[in-house]
Chain A
Amino acid sequence: MKTPYEILGVSPTATDDEIKSAYRALAKKYHPDTNGGSEYAAEKMREINAAYDKIQDMRSGKSSGGNYYGGNASYGDTNAYERMKSTARDYLNAGNVLGALSLLQSIPEGYRDAEWHYIMGHVYLRLNNNARASREFGMAHSMDPSNEEYRTAYESISSRSQGYTEYTGGNDTSFIPLGCSCCDPCSCLCCCSSLYDCLRCCF
């Protein structure tokens, strides 16, 4: 699932003017008047409009979870980033995944510790992006190997389903265990029958 910022191709910390400009450029490209009858263009247009509306709502505080922090990344205050991480956790618990993502992405790179990566992993899990979730949990675990929570999350997402080794071509009752073939009894009977016929001829 893509975030509204990814759909518009902007950073979560982009200014309102940058977002408006990106929206206009995309709207011009996918507008139905210039792409008459295109299913893809119509779908992109719907996505872009929904993404722009969502960002507007988030920034004006209308969406659930309330305040928008993006664009105020110049706190320069470690405590403020701790509060932002805590708020991101609250957003996640309240179901406001995009709010949590926006908040976390507005924390500068230098302040992204193990906890940041751990919460980010959960955000991506909720967005059904297991690849990125795995990476974030992996980062959290490598930055703080003693933390049980991070280790459990990483091991849990890393353990693969047995689909690869157990899948044997479908739920088919004719699946043959190793070393045996369903043809074996028949071929055995045929051989015996031929041998019997041979023996009868000889004697």
Chain B
Amino acid sequence: MFGYIKPYEDELKVKQIKLYRSLYCGLCRSAGKHISLFSRFFLSYDYTFFAAVRMIFEKTEYTTESARCGFHLFAKKKVISDNGALGLSSAIFSVLTYYKLVDNIKDDGLVKSLFSRLLLPFASHMRKKALKQGFRDVDMIISDCMERTALLEKNGGSVYDLSETFGDMMGYLLKLGLADEAKEDAYTVGFEVGRFIYCADAADDLEKDEKSHSFNPYLNEYGSSDEALTALRKGRNSIARGTDTAADILMRRKSELPASLFDMCEIALNILYLGCPSVLDGILCKDKDCDKCKRH
């Protein structure tokens, strides 16, 4: 479910790559401070994107500081200082990790879910810390989505229903607490990105789910992973279009941003216009010798 929202680094400026990494470091520190030290192991770059977009919609004038990294003890890193967007992103990945583990335990057998069972107590603690921080709405939004997804999967729901459910969750999370004028745009960005994540994850897991006879909405629709991949390659544009829509919204908002957020906006635009389609192409390519797809 993670690792599909990343930039196309070849087209980023060096200063933007550094800013992106400092945002990740800032998110890691925020999670360590507000949730738990252990929560940092669950962090992925997808949440960095979420934090960046939140900062764009909130028009956060962020600051940076120099800090020592827990994972790179001898290096001092430039990190973005703690702020509301980082706090929210930390809470989201903590609660989402908990519910994903619960979902894995429910779906998989005892042996397969052993790793998830071992991690569950830590994730449960993370969720409790997030709730204590006042993020009850985050918990409600995510648990609603998980409930609806489980019901849809049980009834053989289509990829449209499932991806829109996940998109709906991301939309609500992204617009939480924003000013009214930003809510609709924030929801649309979250919705399209959430849809993309779900579709990309389902496409990526096609062969694995076919072997293990696990639920996959594309397998349900097309019967086999080969048929599904052929259809997805033809319909690639309809999956990629969503991230274009989200990018267009951010592009419109760019002119309203303070200059300090331009680079942050460029990073988000790069991810949506270039990074996500590149990831999708890599998933659909499946040719390990391909030199065009950045994924291989």
> Are B235 and A41 in contact (CB-based, < 8 A)?
no
Is the Cβ of A163 less than 8 Å from the Cβ of B11?
Answer: no
Q: Is the CB of B177 within 8 A of A39?
A: yes
Contacts of B163 in A (CB 8 A): 131
Which one of B39-47, B77-85, B203-211, B238-246 is at the interface? Answer: B238-246
Contact B244 A163 (CB under 8 A): yes
Question: From residue B192, how far is it (CB to closest CB) to chain A in Å?
Answer: 9
Q: Does A38 contact B (CB under 8 A)?
A: yes
CB distance from A121 to the nearest CB of B (A): 12
Which residues of chain B (134-172) have a CB below 8 Å from chain A? 136-137, 140-141, 148, 160, 163, 168, 172
Give Cα distance in the complex from A168 to B10, angstroms. Answer: 10
Listed stretches A68-76, A132-140, A191-199; interface member? A132-140
The answer on a CB contact under 8 Å between B273 and A164 is yes
Chain A's interface size range is 20 to 34
Inter-subunit contact A170/B140 (CB<8 Å)? no
Residue interface mask A154-194, B partner, CB < 8 A = 1: 00011111011001111000000000000000000000000
Given A40-B141, A158-B237 in contact, is the A164-B277 Cβ separation under 8 Å? yes
B242–A131 contact, CB under 8 A? yes
Task: Kindly provide the distance from the CB of B177 to the nearest chain A CB, expressed in whole angstroms.
Answer: 7
Say yes or no: is A130 at the interface (Cβ < 8 Å to chain B): yes
A170 and B238 in contact (CB under 8 A), knowing A40-B140, A40-B176, A161-B244? no
Q: B241 to A131, Cβ gap below 8 A?
A: yes
Q: How far is A160 from B234 in the complex, measured between Cα atoms in Å?
A: 12
Give the one of B172, B195, B273, B277 with max A CB within 10 A: B273
* A169 near B13: Cβ-Cβ < 8 Å: yes
Contact with A along B109-140 (1 / 0, CB 8 A): 00000000000000000000000000011001
Q: Looking at the complex, which one of B141, B240, B266 makes contact with A164 (CB distance below 8 Å)?
A: B240
Question: Does A130 contact B176, Cβ atoms closer than 8 Å?
Answer: no
* Cβ distance A41 to chain B, nearest Cβ, rounded Å: 7
Counting from the closest, the 9 A-B pairs by CB-CB distance are A167-B273, A134-B238, A40-B137, A160-B237, A169-B11, A164-B277, A170-B266, A163-B244, A163-B273
Binding site for B on A (CB under 8 A): 2, 9, 35, 38-41, 43, 130-132, 134-135, 138, 157-161, 163-164, 167-170
Interface residues of B (CB under 8 A from A): 11-13, 136-137, 140-141, 148, 160, 163, 168, 172, 176-177, 195, 235, 237-242, 244-245, 247-248, 266, 269-270, 273-274, 277
A-B contact pairs, 14 of them (CB 8 A): A35-B140, A38-B136, A38-B137, A41-B137, A130-B242, A134-B241, A157-B238, A158-B238, A160-B240, A160-B241, A163-B247, A167-B11, A167-B247, A169-B270
Given A43-B172, A169-B13, 7 more contacts at CB 8 Å?
A132-B160, A135-B235, A158-B237, A158-B238, A160-B241, A164-B240, A164-B273
